[in-house]
Every structure is written in C-alpha cells, then in structure tokens.
C-alpha cells in the first residue's frame, strides 16, 4: 500500500515523503518484535548489547568501548546497560586486568538462552521483507547505505 493511502496524508516533496515512508516502515516492521523484547524485560539497546556479545563470543570478554562502537544507537550509556544486564544475570562484568579503567563484559549462558528463545521472532522480522526479491533486498540495502553516506 502506498504511504499516502496508509497515512491518508500529503507530503511537501518526494524527499519528505521518502523520510516519512522510511520512518513509518521501520517502526511498523519492528513494533511486534520490540513488544516481545519488553515481555522478556529487555530494551532495544539491551538486546543490541546481548547480540554484540553473542556475535563476538569467540573474542570475549569484550570491553565497553568495543561494544559501544557496534551499537545501533550511537549515544548509549553502555556501562549503565551492562549494569542492568548484569543485574538480570545475562552478562558478567569485571575490571579489565590490563586497564583498570576498562570493564570486561561477557554474555552468560542465561543471556545466550534468552537470545535463543527470541530466534523465532528474529526470523519472523526477516520474513516481513519476504515480498522483496533477493535483488530488491540488495538494492534496498544499497540505497539505505547511500542515505547514510
């Protein structure tokens, strides 16, 4: 459905329409998944930290700066996020033996289990783009990368 029909609105120009269309679509695609995260007591940023820790498990423990560089949100307080995840038993955190100002963070088996339980939702989100061909998905990614340049 066209964005004009979906929102029953008008736009100043194609760039304005593109921005609204992109924002609306991203929210719509992620709404159910973020609701599922809340059922598990997680925020989007906490989930992002857990995914980073799982993705770099073979390089663990990771320092807070390493995690921050890979966050989707560019302005998170990673130390606070790690504290909250540690309170939930999803990560461990300790002083870095090489630099006492740094913290070393690792995901626990409980954190890995939680991510495993969310795998079905992750795959569901991927299917929301299923009406695109592989070439269209690649083109979408190229255009999104171009927007951020």
- What is the band of 105 on the pLDDT scale with cuts at 50, 70, 90? very high
Instruction: Give φ, ψ of 122 to 5 degrees.
Output: -60, -45
User: What confidence score (pLDDT) does residue 48 get?
Assistant: 94
Q: Is 80 exceeded by the pLDDT of residue 75? A: no
Domain 3-148 class? mainly alpha
Q: Is the dihedral of CA 83, 80, 100, 110 positive or negative?
A: positive
- What is the band of 148 on the pLDDT scale with cuts at 50, 70, 90? confident
Among 1-5, 38-42, 69-73, 93-97, the range with the most confident prediction by mean pLDDT is 38-42
pTM beyond cutoff 0.85: no
User: What confidence score (pLDDT) does residue 52 get?
Assistant: 95
Average pLDDT over residues 11-16: 92
What are 30-64's pLDDT values in tens digits? 888 888 899 999 999 999 999 999 999 999 889 88
Tell me the C-alpha distance between 139 and 142, whole Å.
5
Whether residue 67 contacts residue 105, with contact meaning beta carbons closer than 8 Å, is answered with: yes
Q: Dig out the tokens for 97 from the structure.
A: 């033996």
Give Dmax over CA atoms of the chain in angstroms: 58
Tell me the C-alpha distance between 82 and 64, whole Å.
8
- What is the band of 28 on the pLDDT scale with cuts at 50, 70, 90? confident
User: What confidence score (pLDDT) does residue 83 get?
Assistant: 94
CA distances from 15 to 8, 78, 113, 115 (A): 18, 34, 42, 37
């Amino acid at each position: 459905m066209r964005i004009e029909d979906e929102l029953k609105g008008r736009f100043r120009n194609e760039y304005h329409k593109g921005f609204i269309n992109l924002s609306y679509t991203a929210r719509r695609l992620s709404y159910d998944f973020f609701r599922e995260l809340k059922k598990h007591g997680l925020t989007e940023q906490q989930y992002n930290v857990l995914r980073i820790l799982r993705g770099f498990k073979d390089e663990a423990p990771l320092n807070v700066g390493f995690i921050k560089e890979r966050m989707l949100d560019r302005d998170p307080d990673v130390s606070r996020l790690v504290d909250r995840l540690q309170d939930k038993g999803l990560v461990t955190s300790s002083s870095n033996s090489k630099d006492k100002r740094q913290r070393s963070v690792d995901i626990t088996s409980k954190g890995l289990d939680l991510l495993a339980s969310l795998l079905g939702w992750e795959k569901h989100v991927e299917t929301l783009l299923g009406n695109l061909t592989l070439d269209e998905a690649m083109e979408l990614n190229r255009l999104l990368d171009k927007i951020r340049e």
